[in-house]
Amino acid sequence: MRIALLTEGAKRRPKGDPLAWCDRLVHGLNDHDFELYALCRDPQDTPERLAERHPGVRAVHTHPLWGPPPDGAPRGRVTRRRFLDCYQELAAALTARPDPPGAVDLADRFANGLYGLADLAHEHGGLPAALRSEAAVRALEAACRAPGADPLLGGATASDLLTASEALERALRPLSAPWYDQHTLGAADLCHATSGGPATLPGLLAARHLATPLLVTEYTVRLRDHYLGGEHARLPLRARALLAALYRRLAAESYRTAALLTPGNGHIRRWQERCGGTGAKIRTVHPGIDAARLAAIGEAAESGSAEEDDATLVWVGRVEPAKDLVALLHAFTRVRLAVPTARLRLVSGGGRADYLAQCRALATQLFPDEAVDSHHPGENPVAFEEIGSPYVPTPADAYAAGGVLVLSSVVEGFPTTLVEAMFCARATVSTDVGAVREVIGGTGLIVPPRNPSALADACVELLRDPRRRARLGAAARARALELFTAEQSVAAFREIYLDLVAHRRPAAPHTASALFALPAEAHLPGSWRPASGARRRAERAPAWAVRGTRRQPAAVGALGEEA
Protein backbone atom coordinates (compact mmCIF):
# COMPACT_ATOMS: atom_id res chain seq x y z
CA MET A 1 0.00 0.00 0.00
CA ARG A 2 1.27 3.48 -0.87
CA ILE A 3 0.57 6.12 1.80
CA ALA A 4 1.07 9.87 1.28
CA LEU A 5 1.83 11.59 4.61
CA LEU A 6 0.83 15.27 4.40
CA THR A 7 2.64 17.46 6.94
CA GLU A 8 3.68 21.05 7.51
CA GLY A 9 7.36 20.33 7.84
CA ALA A 10 9.36 20.49 11.03
CA LYS A 11 7.79 23.53 12.69
CA ARG A 12 4.14 22.47 12.63
CA ARG A 13 4.27 19.39 14.83
CA PRO A 14 1.60 18.07 17.18
CA LYS A 15 2.22 19.55 20.61
CA GLY A 16 3.44 17.15 23.25
CA ASP A 17 4.54 14.48 20.75
CA PRO A 18 6.56 16.19 17.99
CA LEU A 19 6.09 14.00 14.94
CA ALA A 20 7.57 11.05 16.82
CA TRP A 21 4.27 9.28 16.32
CA CYS A 22 4.76 9.56 12.55
CA ASP A 23 8.19 7.94 12.83
CA ARG A 24 6.77 5.14 14.96
CA LEU A 25 3.98 4.69 12.43
CA VAL A 26 6.40 4.41 9.51
CA HIS A 27 8.63 1.93 11.32
CA GLY A 28 5.72 -0.06 12.70
CA LEU A 29 4.03 -0.38 9.29
CA ASN A 30 7.17 -1.12 7.29
CA ASP A 31 5.20 -3.37 4.95
CA HIS A 32 3.65 -0.20 3.43
CA ASP A 33 5.36 2.44 1.29
CA PHE A 34 5.27 5.92 2.86
CA GLU A 35 5.99 9.14 1.01
CA LEU A 36 6.29 12.46 2.82
CA TYR A 37 4.69 15.60 1.35
CA ALA A 38 5.89 18.50 3.51
CA LEU A 39 4.76 22.13 3.38
CA CYS A 40 7.91 23.83 4.66
CA ARG A 41 7.96 27.09 6.63
CA ASP A 42 11.72 27.11 7.13
CA PRO A 43 14.44 27.31 4.43
CA GLN A 44 16.37 24.63 6.31
CA ASP A 45 13.60 22.08 5.70
CA THR A 46 15.10 20.60 2.56
CA PRO A 47 14.19 17.14 1.21
CA GLU A 48 17.59 15.85 2.30
CA ARG A 49 17.20 17.02 5.90
CA LEU A 50 13.63 15.76 6.15
CA ALA A 51 14.75 12.40 4.79
CA GLU A 52 17.42 12.25 7.50
CA ARG A 53 14.82 12.95 10.20
CA HIS A 54 12.43 10.34 8.82
CA PRO A 55 14.57 7.55 7.36
CA GLY A 56 11.64 5.18 6.94
CA VAL A 57 9.89 7.13 4.18
CA ARG A 58 10.51 6.11 0.58
CA ALA A 59 10.48 9.62 -0.92
CA VAL A 60 10.23 13.22 0.32
CA HIS A 61 8.47 16.03 -1.56
CA THR A 62 8.59 19.63 -0.31
CA HIS A 63 6.82 22.84 -1.20
CA PRO A 64 7.91 26.13 0.44
CA LEU A 65 5.48 28.36 2.29
CA TRP A 66 8.20 30.89 3.08
CA GLY A 67 9.74 33.64 1.00
CA PRO A 68 8.24 35.71 -1.82
CA PRO A 69 5.59 34.09 -3.99
CA PRO A 70 6.87 32.29 -7.08
CA ASP A 71 5.79 33.43 -10.50
CA GLY A 72 2.50 32.20 -11.81
CA ALA A 73 -0.63 34.10 -12.71
CA PRO A 74 -3.57 33.57 -15.07
CA ARG A 75 -3.29 35.34 -18.41
CA GLY A 76 -6.03 36.42 -20.72
CA ARG A 77 -9.17 38.42 -20.05
CA VAL A 78 -11.47 35.43 -19.60
CA THR A 79 -9.02 33.62 -17.35
CA ARG A 80 -8.46 36.68 -15.18
CA ARG A 81 -12.21 37.05 -14.89
CA ARG A 82 -12.48 33.43 -13.77
CA PHE A 83 -9.82 34.06 -11.15
CA LEU A 84 -11.65 37.10 -9.78
CA ASP A 85 -14.95 35.22 -9.71
CA CYS A 86 -13.38 32.40 -7.70
CA TYR A 87 -11.50 34.74 -5.38
CA GLN A 88 -14.62 36.81 -4.77
CA GLU A 89 -16.52 33.67 -3.82
CA LEU A 90 -13.76 32.72 -1.39
CA ALA A 91 -13.52 36.23 0.07
CA ALA A 92 -17.31 36.47 0.49
CA ALA A 93 -17.32 33.23 2.49
CA LEU A 94 -14.48 34.47 4.73
CA THR A 95 -15.88 37.92 5.46
CA ALA A 96 -19.59 37.13 5.88
CA ARG A 97 -21.39 36.62 9.13
CA PRO A 98 -22.81 33.15 9.92
CA ASP A 99 -25.48 32.14 7.43
CA PRO A 100 -28.67 34.14 7.91
CA PRO A 101 -31.95 32.37 7.08
CA GLY A 102 -32.48 32.06 3.34
CA ALA A 103 -28.92 33.13 2.41
CA VAL A 104 -26.62 31.22 0.09
CA ASP A 105 -24.70 28.64 2.07
CA LEU A 106 -21.25 30.01 2.89
CA ALA A 107 -19.63 26.57 3.00
CA ASP A 108 -20.83 26.07 -0.57
CA ARG A 109 -19.34 29.39 -1.68
CA PHE A 110 -16.06 28.63 0.09
CA ALA A 111 -15.74 25.23 -1.60
CA ASN A 112 -16.59 26.63 -5.03
CA GLY A 113 -14.04 29.41 -4.68
CA LEU A 114 -11.35 27.11 -3.28
CA TYR A 115 -11.68 24.40 -5.91
CA GLY A 116 -12.05 26.97 -8.68
CA LEU A 117 -8.72 28.48 -7.66
CA ALA A 118 -7.21 24.98 -7.57
CA ASP A 119 -8.32 24.38 -11.17
CA LEU A 120 -6.76 27.65 -12.28
CA ALA A 121 -3.54 26.91 -10.38
CA HIS A 122 -3.19 23.60 -12.20
CA GLU A 123 -3.96 25.08 -15.60
CA HIS A 124 -1.58 28.05 -15.29
CA GLY A 125 1.27 26.68 -13.18
CA GLY A 126 0.29 28.31 -9.91
CA LEU A 127 -1.46 31.36 -8.50
CA PRO A 128 0.78 32.86 -5.76
CA ALA A 129 1.43 36.09 -7.63
CA ALA A 130 -2.24 36.51 -8.51
CA LEU A 131 -3.31 35.97 -4.89
CA ARG A 132 -1.16 38.97 -3.89
CA SER A 133 -2.11 41.13 -6.83
CA GLU A 134 -3.87 44.48 -6.60
CA ALA A 135 -7.02 42.93 -8.05
CA ALA A 136 -7.09 40.35 -5.24
CA VAL A 137 -6.63 43.03 -2.58
CA ARG A 138 -9.43 45.09 -4.07
CA ALA A 139 -11.72 42.05 -4.17
CA LEU A 140 -10.93 41.36 -0.52
CA GLU A 141 -11.67 45.00 0.35
CA ALA A 142 -15.00 44.86 -1.50
CA ALA A 143 -15.97 41.72 0.41
CA CYS A 144 -15.13 43.38 3.73
CA ARG A 145 -17.28 46.41 2.84
CA ALA A 146 -20.18 44.41 1.38
CA PRO A 147 -23.60 44.24 3.11
CA GLY A 148 -23.73 41.29 5.49
CA ALA A 149 -19.99 41.29 6.15
CA ASP A 150 -18.62 41.00 9.66
CA PRO A 151 -18.69 44.52 11.22
CA LEU A 152 -15.16 43.99 12.55
CA LEU A 153 -13.83 43.64 9.00
CA GLY A 154 -15.68 46.70 7.76
CA GLY A 155 -13.02 48.94 9.28
CA ALA A 156 -10.07 47.14 7.67
CA THR A 157 -7.34 49.54 6.59
CA ALA A 158 -5.05 49.22 3.58
CA SER A 159 -2.34 47.81 5.84
CA ASP A 160 -4.76 45.20 7.24
CA LEU A 161 -5.81 44.14 3.75
CA LEU A 162 -2.25 43.85 2.47
CA THR A 163 -1.19 41.82 5.50
CA ALA A 164 -4.23 39.58 5.23
CA SER A 165 -3.72 39.11 1.50
CA GLU A 166 -0.13 37.98 2.08
CA ALA A 167 -1.16 35.57 4.86
CA LEU A 168 -3.98 34.13 2.74
CA GLU A 169 -1.60 33.59 -0.16
CA ARG A 170 0.81 31.63 2.04
CA ALA A 171 -2.02 29.50 3.45
CA LEU A 172 -3.33 28.76 -0.07
CA ARG A 173 0.08 28.15 -1.64
CA PRO A 174 -0.40 24.35 -1.47
CA LEU A 175 -2.93 24.75 -4.31
CA SER A 176 0.05 25.52 -6.55
CA ALA A 177 2.19 22.57 -5.42
CA PRO A 178 3.49 20.34 -8.25
CA TRP A 179 2.05 17.20 -6.68
CA TYR A 180 -1.15 16.66 -8.63
CA ASP A 181 -0.25 14.11 -11.29
CA GLN A 182 -0.18 10.36 -11.70
CA HIS A 183 3.40 10.07 -10.42
CA THR A 184 2.87 11.77 -7.03
CA LEU A 185 -0.46 12.03 -5.19
CA GLY A 186 -2.23 10.38 -8.10
CA ALA A 187 -0.33 7.16 -7.37
CA ALA A 188 -1.15 7.09 -3.64
CA ASP A 189 -3.73 4.67 -2.26
CA LEU A 190 -4.40 6.92 0.74
CA CYS A 191 -3.65 10.49 1.82
CA HIS A 192 -2.95 10.83 5.54
CA ALA A 193 -2.89 14.43 6.79
CA THR A 194 -0.97 14.55 10.08
CA SER A 195 -2.59 17.85 11.13
CA GLY A 196 -5.38 20.18 10.16
CA GLY A 197 -5.03 23.49 8.33
CA PRO A 198 -3.12 23.88 5.04
CA ALA A 199 -1.75 20.33 5.28
CA THR A 200 -5.19 19.02 4.34
CA LEU A 201 -5.38 21.00 1.07
CA PRO A 202 -3.46 18.46 -1.08
CA GLY A 203 -5.62 15.70 0.35
CA LEU A 204 -8.81 17.63 -0.43
CA LEU A 205 -7.81 17.99 -4.09
CA ALA A 206 -6.83 14.31 -4.37
CA ALA A 207 -10.11 13.26 -2.76
CA ARG A 208 -12.15 15.51 -5.04
CA HIS A 209 -10.55 14.60 -8.36
CA LEU A 210 -9.21 11.06 -7.83
CA ALA A 211 -11.52 9.72 -5.09
CA THR A 212 -8.42 9.03 -2.99
CA PRO A 213 -9.48 8.50 0.64
CA LEU A 214 -8.38 11.28 3.00
CA LEU A 215 -7.51 10.47 6.61
CA VAL A 216 -7.07 13.46 8.95
CA THR A 217 -5.24 12.92 12.26
CA GLU A 218 -5.17 15.78 14.77
CA TYR A 219 -3.26 15.74 18.01
CA THR A 220 -3.78 19.47 18.36
CA VAL A 221 -6.61 21.55 16.90
CA ARG A 222 -5.14 24.02 14.43
CA LEU A 223 -8.20 26.26 14.65
CA ARG A 224 -7.96 26.34 18.44
CA ASP A 225 -4.26 27.20 18.26
CA HIS A 226 -5.09 30.12 15.98
CA TYR A 227 -7.74 31.41 18.38
CA LEU A 228 -5.17 31.24 21.20
CA GLY A 229 -2.62 33.23 19.20
CA GLY A 230 -0.38 30.68 17.53
CA GLU A 231 2.01 31.71 14.80
CA HIS A 232 -0.18 34.65 13.70
CA ALA A 233 -0.41 36.28 17.13
CA ARG A 234 1.49 39.40 15.99
CA LEU A 235 -0.69 40.12 12.99
CA PRO A 236 -3.23 42.96 13.09
CA LEU A 237 -6.60 42.08 14.58
CA ARG A 238 -8.57 42.15 11.32
CA ALA A 239 -5.96 40.11 9.48
CA ARG A 240 -6.15 37.48 12.23
CA ALA A 241 -9.94 37.48 11.93
CA LEU A 242 -9.72 36.73 8.21
CA LEU A 243 -7.23 33.92 8.81
CA ALA A 244 -9.45 32.51 11.55
CA ALA A 245 -12.33 32.44 9.08
CA LEU A 246 -10.12 30.64 6.56
CA TYR A 247 -9.10 27.97 9.08
CA ARG A 248 -12.71 27.61 10.23
CA ARG A 249 -14.01 27.08 6.68
CA LEU A 250 -11.07 24.84 5.80
CA ALA A 251 -11.64 22.70 8.89
CA ALA A 252 -15.32 22.28 8.01
CA GLU A 253 -14.48 21.35 4.41
CA SER A 254 -11.79 18.86 5.42
CA TYR A 255 -14.06 17.28 8.06
CA ARG A 256 -16.83 16.95 5.47
CA THR A 257 -14.58 15.49 2.78
CA ALA A 258 -12.39 13.19 4.88
CA ALA A 259 -13.21 9.50 4.84
CA LEU A 260 -12.21 9.28 8.51
CA LEU A 261 -11.08 11.62 11.30
CA THR A 262 -8.77 10.31 14.02
CA PRO A 263 -8.51 12.80 16.89
CA GLY A 264 -5.94 12.12 19.57
CA ASN A 265 -8.39 12.50 22.45
CA GLY A 266 -11.98 13.30 23.31
CA HIS A 267 -11.24 17.02 23.71
CA ILE A 268 -10.19 17.27 20.05
CA ARG A 269 -13.12 15.05 19.04
CA ARG A 270 -15.55 17.57 20.54
CA TRP A 271 -13.91 20.36 18.54
CA GLN A 272 -14.24 18.35 15.37
CA GLU A 273 -17.90 17.63 16.03
CA ARG A 274 -18.60 21.32 16.64
CA CYS A 275 -16.83 22.27 13.43
CA GLY A 276 -18.78 19.87 11.23
CA GLY A 277 -17.38 16.39 11.77
CA THR A 278 -19.98 13.67 12.16
CA GLY A 279 -19.69 10.98 14.80
CA ALA A 280 -19.91 8.18 12.24
CA LYS A 281 -16.57 9.14 10.69
CA ILE A 282 -14.65 9.97 13.90
CA ARG A 283 -12.48 7.41 15.68
CA THR A 284 -10.26 8.40 18.60
CA VAL A 285 -6.69 7.09 18.37
CA HIS A 286 -4.47 8.13 21.26
CA PRO A 287 -0.88 9.05 20.40
CA GLY A 288 1.29 6.11 21.30
CA ILE A 289 4.13 6.56 23.78
CA ASP A 290 7.30 4.47 23.76
CA ALA A 291 7.01 2.72 27.12
CA ALA A 292 10.25 0.72 26.86
CA ARG A 293 12.44 3.53 28.19
CA LEU A 294 10.10 3.97 31.19
CA ALA A 295 9.45 0.30 31.95
CA ALA A 296 12.31 -0.14 34.41
CA ILE A 297 11.13 2.76 36.60
CA GLY A 298 7.54 1.54 36.62
CA GLU A 299 8.52 -2.04 37.46
CA ALA A 300 10.80 -0.86 40.26
CA ALA A 301 8.04 1.33 41.71
CA GLU A 302 5.52 -1.52 41.70
CA SER A 303 7.98 -3.96 43.28
CA GLY A 304 8.87 -1.48 46.02
CA SER A 305 12.58 -1.42 45.16
CA ALA A 306 12.56 2.17 43.87
CA GLU A 307 14.41 4.80 45.89
CA GLU A 308 12.12 7.75 45.43
CA ASP A 309 11.96 10.88 47.52
CA ASP A 310 8.48 10.70 49.03
CA ALA A 311 8.47 14.39 49.97
CA THR A 312 9.35 15.69 46.50
CA LEU A 313 6.92 17.07 43.95
CA VAL A 314 8.04 17.01 40.31
CA TRP A 315 6.85 19.14 37.40
CA VAL A 316 8.06 18.36 33.85
CA GLY A 317 7.33 20.29 30.66
CA ARG A 318 7.97 23.39 28.59
CA VAL A 319 8.21 26.64 30.52
CA GLU A 320 5.47 28.90 29.17
CA PRO A 321 2.54 30.89 30.64
CA ALA A 322 0.00 28.19 29.69
CA LYS A 323 1.66 25.86 32.23
CA ASP A 324 0.85 28.34 35.05
CA LEU A 325 3.98 27.78 37.10
CA VAL A 326 3.15 30.91 39.06
CA ALA A 327 0.08 29.20 40.52
CA LEU A 328 2.16 26.10 41.26
CA LEU A 329 4.73 28.15 43.20
CA HIS A 330 1.99 29.83 45.23
CA ALA A 331 0.43 26.42 45.89
CA PHE A 332 3.80 25.12 47.10
CA THR A 333 3.88 27.78 49.82
CA ARG A 334 0.79 26.08 51.31
CA VAL A 335 2.37 22.65 50.85
CA ARG A 336 5.44 23.74 52.82
CA LEU A 337 3.27 24.86 55.72
CA ALA A 338 1.65 21.42 55.93
CA VAL A 339 4.75 19.34 55.02
CA PRO A 340 7.89 21.30 56.01
CA THR A 341 10.23 18.77 54.37
CA ALA A 342 8.53 19.01 50.97
CA ARG A 343 10.59 19.96 47.93
CA LEU A 344 9.65 21.00 44.39
CA ARG A 345 11.70 20.17 41.28
CA LEU A 346 10.79 22.03 38.09
CA VAL A 347 12.34 20.18 35.14
CA SER A 348 12.04 22.01 31.83
CA GLY A 349 12.45 20.81 28.30
CA GLY A 350 12.75 24.27 26.75
CA GLY A 351 10.35 27.20 26.61
CA ARG A 352 10.37 30.94 27.09
CA ALA A 353 13.38 32.44 28.81
CA ASP A 354 11.49 35.52 30.03
CA TYR A 355 8.82 33.43 31.76
CA LEU A 356 11.49 31.20 33.31
CA ALA A 357 13.24 34.28 34.71
CA GLN A 358 9.93 35.49 36.15
CA CYS A 359 9.35 32.15 37.88
CA ARG A 360 12.89 32.07 39.27
CA ALA A 361 12.44 35.53 40.74
CA LEU A 362 9.12 34.54 42.30
CA ALA A 363 10.61 31.38 43.80
CA THR A 364 13.47 33.40 45.34
CA GLN A 365 10.94 35.81 46.84
CA LEU A 366 8.58 33.14 48.20
CA PHE A 367 11.25 30.69 49.43
CA PRO A 368 14.43 32.25 50.82
CA ASP A 369 17.39 29.92 51.13
CA GLU A 370 17.11 27.77 54.26
CA ALA A 371 19.85 26.12 56.33
CA VAL A 372 19.40 23.34 58.88
CA ASP A 373 21.89 24.97 61.24
CA SER A 374 24.54 27.66 61.42
CA HIS A 375 27.23 25.39 59.98
CA HIS A 376 25.61 24.47 56.61
CA PRO A 377 24.89 26.60 53.55
CA GLY A 378 21.33 27.57 52.80
CA GLU A 379 19.31 25.72 50.18
CA ASN A 380 16.15 26.66 48.34
CA PRO A 381 13.33 24.06 48.42
CA VAL A 382 12.50 24.88 44.78
CA ALA A 383 14.99 23.63 42.17
CA PHE A 384 14.97 24.64 38.50
CA GLU A 385 16.58 22.02 36.29
CA GLU A 386 16.77 21.12 32.61
CA ILE A 387 16.52 17.81 30.84
CA GLY A 388 20.01 16.89 29.72
CA SER A 389 21.74 18.32 32.79
CA PRO A 390 23.96 16.06 34.94
CA TYR A 391 21.21 15.64 37.53
CA VAL A 392 18.41 14.98 35.00
CA PRO A 393 19.97 13.46 31.87
CA THR A 394 16.64 12.04 30.56
CA PRO A 395 12.91 12.62 31.22
CA ALA A 396 12.77 9.22 32.89
CA ASP A 397 15.23 10.46 35.54
CA ALA A 398 12.90 13.39 36.23
CA TYR A 399 9.93 11.11 36.89
CA ALA A 400 12.06 8.90 39.13
CA ALA A 401 13.18 11.88 41.23
CA GLY A 402 9.95 12.37 43.16
CA GLY A 403 6.90 10.66 44.52
CA VAL A 404 4.18 12.85 42.95
CA LEU A 405 4.01 14.48 39.52
CA VAL A 406 2.14 17.80 39.34
CA LEU A 407 0.54 19.35 36.26
CA SER A 408 -0.72 22.92 36.79
CA SER A 409 -1.65 23.95 33.23
CA VAL A 410 -4.52 26.24 32.31
CA VAL A 411 -4.37 25.12 28.65
CA GLU A 412 -3.41 21.60 27.67
CA GLY A 413 -3.94 19.26 24.75
CA PHE A 414 -2.83 15.67 25.19
CA PRO A 415 -0.69 15.67 28.38
CA THR A 416 2.29 13.59 27.29
CA THR A 417 4.23 14.19 30.52
CA LEU A 418 1.25 12.93 32.48
CA VAL A 419 1.14 9.69 30.46
CA GLU A 420 4.90 9.19 30.86
CA ALA A 421 4.55 9.61 34.64
CA MET A 422 1.77 7.01 34.58
CA PHE A 423 4.11 4.56 32.81
CA CYS A 424 6.55 5.18 35.68
CA ALA A 425 3.81 4.27 38.22
CA ARG A 426 3.73 7.74 39.70
CA ALA A 427 0.72 9.26 41.42
CA THR A 428 -0.36 12.53 39.82
CA VAL A 429 -2.11 15.77 40.71
CA SER A 430 -3.47 17.60 37.66
CA THR A 431 -5.69 20.49 36.70
CA ASP A 432 -8.90 19.69 34.85
CA VAL A 433 -8.00 21.01 31.39
CA GLY A 434 -7.85 19.54 27.89
CA ALA A 435 -7.70 15.75 27.82
CA VAL A 436 -6.41 15.38 31.40
CA ARG A 437 -9.59 13.81 32.80
CA GLU A 438 -9.76 11.39 29.86
CA VAL A 439 -6.13 10.35 30.35
CA ILE A 440 -6.23 10.01 34.15
CA GLY A 441 -9.51 8.11 34.32
CA GLY A 442 -9.62 7.97 38.13
CA THR A 443 -5.97 7.04 38.71
CA GLY A 444 -4.94 10.48 40.01
CA LEU A 445 -6.27 13.60 41.70
CA ILE A 446 -7.81 16.35 39.55
CA VAL A 447 -8.39 19.93 40.72
CA PRO A 448 -9.78 23.05 39.02
CA PRO A 449 -7.28 25.22 37.10
CA ARG A 450 -6.11 28.55 38.54
CA ASN A 451 -6.81 27.32 42.09
CA PRO A 452 -3.55 27.16 44.10
CA SER A 453 -5.41 26.25 47.28
CA ALA A 454 -7.03 23.15 45.76
CA LEU A 455 -3.74 22.18 44.08
CA ALA A 456 -1.91 22.42 47.41
CA ASP A 457 -4.52 20.38 49.29
CA ALA A 458 -4.32 17.55 46.74
CA CYS A 459 -0.51 17.49 46.88
CA VAL A 460 -0.52 17.41 50.69
CA GLU A 461 -3.05 14.59 50.68
CA LEU A 462 -0.79 12.37 48.57
CA LEU A 463 2.43 13.35 50.33
CA ARG A 464 0.92 12.32 53.68
CA ASP A 465 -0.52 9.00 52.44
CA PRO A 466 2.18 6.77 50.87
CA ARG A 467 -0.15 3.76 50.61
CA ARG A 468 -2.71 5.64 48.56
CA ARG A 469 0.10 7.09 46.47
CA ALA A 470 1.35 3.59 45.69
CA ARG A 471 -2.14 2.32 44.82
CA LEU A 472 -2.78 5.23 42.45
CA GLY A 473 0.61 4.80 40.83
CA ALA A 474 0.01 1.10 40.16
CA ALA A 475 -3.45 1.82 38.73
CA ALA A 476 -2.03 4.59 36.55
CA ARG A 477 0.63 2.30 35.10
CA ALA A 478 -1.93 -0.38 34.32
CA ARG A 479 -4.14 2.16 32.54
CA ALA A 480 -1.24 3.56 30.52
CA LEU A 481 -0.14 0.09 29.40
CA GLU A 482 -3.70 -0.66 28.34
CA LEU A 483 -4.42 2.52 26.35
CA PHE A 484 -1.34 4.58 25.47
CA THR A 485 1.41 2.33 24.12
CA ALA A 486 2.93 2.89 20.70
CA GLU A 487 2.06 -0.66 19.64
CA GLN A 488 -1.65 -0.02 20.14
CA SER A 489 -1.52 3.19 18.10
CA VAL A 490 0.29 1.45 15.21
CA ALA A 491 -2.18 -1.44 15.27
CA ALA A 492 -5.12 0.99 15.13
CA PHE A 493 -3.72 2.77 12.06
CA ARG A 494 -2.97 -0.55 10.36
CA GLU A 495 -6.63 -1.49 10.65
CA ILE A 496 -7.76 1.98 9.52
CA TYR A 497 -5.53 1.93 6.43
CA LEU A 498 -6.79 -1.46 5.30
CA ASP A 499 -10.42 -0.50 5.88
CA LEU A 500 -10.21 2.82 3.99
CA VAL A 501 -8.40 1.37 0.99
CA ALA A 502 -10.72 -1.62 0.83
CA HIS A 503 -13.75 0.68 0.62
CA ARG A 504 -12.16 3.18 -1.75
CA ARG A 505 -14.47 4.35 -4.51
CA PRO A 506 -12.96 4.23 -7.99
CA ALA A 507 -12.34 7.54 -9.73
CA ALA A 508 -14.73 8.68 -12.42
CA PRO A 509 -13.76 7.44 -15.91
CA HIS A 510 -12.98 10.90 -17.26
CA THR A 511 -10.54 11.57 -14.39
CA ALA A 512 -8.61 8.34 -14.73
CA SER A 513 -5.98 9.86 -17.04
CA ALA A 514 -5.69 13.36 -15.58
CA LEU A 515 -6.29 14.91 -12.20
CA PHE A 516 -8.09 18.01 -13.51
CA ALA A 517 -10.18 16.75 -16.42
CA LEU A 518 -12.01 18.79 -19.05
CA PRO A 519 -15.79 19.25 -18.86
CA ALA A 520 -17.86 16.46 -20.37
CA GLU A 521 -18.84 18.68 -23.30
CA ALA A 522 -15.20 18.81 -24.42
CA HIS A 523 -15.37 15.14 -25.41
CA LEU A 524 -18.23 15.69 -27.88
CA PRO A 525 -17.33 15.86 -31.61
CA GLY A 526 -17.29 19.29 -33.17
CA SER A 527 -17.01 22.66 -31.49
CA TRP A 528 -19.14 23.17 -28.39
CA ARG A 529 -19.95 26.88 -28.10
CA PRO A 530 -22.97 28.40 -26.40
CA ALA A 531 -25.08 30.98 -28.13
CA SER A 532 -23.73 34.53 -28.04
CA GLY A 533 -26.06 35.68 -25.26
CA ALA A 534 -25.48 32.54 -23.21
CA ARG A 535 -21.73 32.87 -23.76
CA ARG A 536 -21.70 36.42 -22.42
CA ARG A 537 -23.70 35.34 -19.37
CA ALA A 538 -21.35 32.40 -18.81
CA GLU A 539 -18.31 34.68 -18.93
CA ARG A 540 -19.84 36.95 -16.30
CA ALA A 541 -21.02 34.11 -14.07
CA PRO A 542 -18.84 32.82 -11.23
CA ALA A 543 -16.69 29.81 -11.97
CA TRP A 544 -18.81 27.37 -9.97
CA ALA A 545 -21.92 28.27 -12.02
CA VAL A 546 -20.23 27.04 -15.21
CA ARG A 547 -17.68 24.43 -14.18
CA GLY A 548 -18.74 23.04 -10.82
CA THR A 549 -21.76 21.63 -9.10
CA ARG A 550 -23.37 23.03 -6.03
CA ARG A 551 -23.35 21.04 -2.85
CA GLN A 552 -25.99 20.72 -0.18
CA PRO A 553 -25.68 23.15 2.74
CA ALA A 554 -23.62 21.87 5.62
CA ALA A 555 -25.04 21.42 9.09
CA VAL A 556 -24.92 24.17 11.65
CA GLY A 557 -22.36 23.46 14.34
CA ALA A 558 -22.68 23.98 18.07
CA LEU A 559 -20.33 26.95 17.99
CA GLY A 560 -23.07 29.00 16.37
CA GLU A 561 -21.49 28.96 12.90
CA GLU A 562 -22.18 26.84 9.88
CA ALA A 563 -19.81 23.92 9.68
Distance CA 509, CA 51 (A): 36
Map residue 133 onto helix, strand or coil.
Answer: coil
- Report which of 290, 291, 296 is spatially closest to residue 397, judged by C-alpha positions: 296
> What's the pTM?
0.81
Residue 556 lies inside a defined structural domain of this protein: no
State the Cα–Cα distance between residues 124 and 75, nearest whole angstrom: 8
- CA gap 357, 29 in Å, rounded: 44
User: What is the SS3 assignment for 222?
Assistant: helix
Rounded to whole angstroms, how far apart are CA atoms 216 and 5? 10
Report which secondary-structure segment, H or E, holds 2.
Answer: strand 2-7
Residue 199 is which amino acid? A
Residues 441, 313 within the same domain:
yes
The CA-based angle 400-410-291, given to 5 degrees, is 30
6 within a domain of the structure (yes/no): yes
* Other residues' Cβ atoms within 10 Å of the Cβ of residue 531: 9
Establish if 11 belongs to a structural domain. yes
Rounded distance, CA 18 to CA 13, Å?
Answer: 5
Phi and psi at 559, nearest 5°, equal -80, 0
Q: Is residue 415 part of a domain?
A: yes
* Cβ contacts of 307 within 8 Å, gap of 6 or more: none
Burial of 307 (0-12, 13-18, 19+ CB in 10 A): exposed
* Burial per residue of 257-290, b for 16 or more beta-carbon CB atoms within 10 angstroms, e otherwise: bbbbbbbbbebbbebbbbbbbeeeebbebbbbbe
Distance CA(195)–CA(202), nearest Å, equals: 12
Q: Is 553 contained in some domain?
A: no
188 and 297 both lie in a single domain: no
Run of H or E residues at 244 = helix 237-257
If asked whether residues 61 and 193 sit together in one domain, one would say yes
- Cα angle 256, 259, 261; round to 5: 80
Cα angle 202, 36, 31 (rounded to 5 degrees) comes to 120
Nearest to 2 by CA among 189, 230, 162, 244: 189
CA distance 513 to 69: 30
Residue 407's contacts (CB-CB under 8 Å, 6 or more residues apart) are: 315, 317, 415, 417, 418, 428, 429, 430, 431, 436
Q: How confident is the model at residue 371, as a pLDDT?
A: 57
**Are 85 and 54 within one domain?**
no
Is the torsion defined by CA of 246, 249, 254, 257 positive or negative?
negative
Q: Are residues 15 and 148 in the same domain?
A: no
Domain span including residue 214: 2-70+176-287+488-502
Structural domains of the chain, count: 3
Q: Using alpha carbons only, what angle is made at residue 377 by residues 376 and 380, rounded to the nearest 5 degrees?
A: 125
DSSP run (H or E) holding 33: strand 33-40
511, part of any domain: no
Alpha carbon distance 11, 7 (integer Å)? 10
Check whether residue 197 and residue 259 sit in a common domain.
yes
Question: Looking at residue 405, what is its pLDDT?
Answer: 96
Q: Do 190 and 159 fall within a single domain?
A: no
In this structure, the number of other CB atoms found within 10 A of the CB of residue 526 comes to 5
Based on the fold, state whether residues 160 and 220 are members of the same structural domain: no
332 and 435 both lie in a single domain: yes
478 phi and psi angles, rounded to 5 deg: -60, -40
d(CA 55, CA 57): 6
130 CB-near residues (< 8 Å, 6+ apart): 72, 73, 74, 83, 136
* Cα 7 from Cα 195, distance rounded (Å): 7
Given this model, what pLDDT does residue 561 score? Answer: 41
475 in the same domain as 329: yes
pLDDT at 106 (0 to 100): 86
CB atoms within 10 A of CB 20: 17
Residue 563 is assigned to a structural domain of this protein: no
Burial of 552 (0-12, 13-18, 19+ CB in 10 A): exposed
Q: How many whole angstroms from its chain centre is CA 196? A: 5
Q: What is the CATH number of the domain that holds 400?
A: 3.40.50.2000
How far is the CA of 370 from the CAs of 126, 312, 325, 343, 374, in angstroms? 66, 16, 22, 12, 10
Residues 280 and 322 in one domain: no
Mean per-residue pLDDT pooled into runs of 10, the chain (563 residues) = 86 47 87 92 78 83 82 73 93 81 72 93 83 92 92 91 92 91 89 92 91 91 75 84 92 94 92 88 90 82 63 94 96 95 93 94 88 64 91 88 94 90 94 94 95 97 94 94 92 94 67 46 47 42 42 39 38
Report DSSP state, residue 187.
G
In a domain, 423, yes or no: yes
Q: Is 429 in the same domain as 322?
A: yes
3-class secondary-structure state, position 64: strand
Torsion sign (Cα): 457, 458, 461, 464? negative
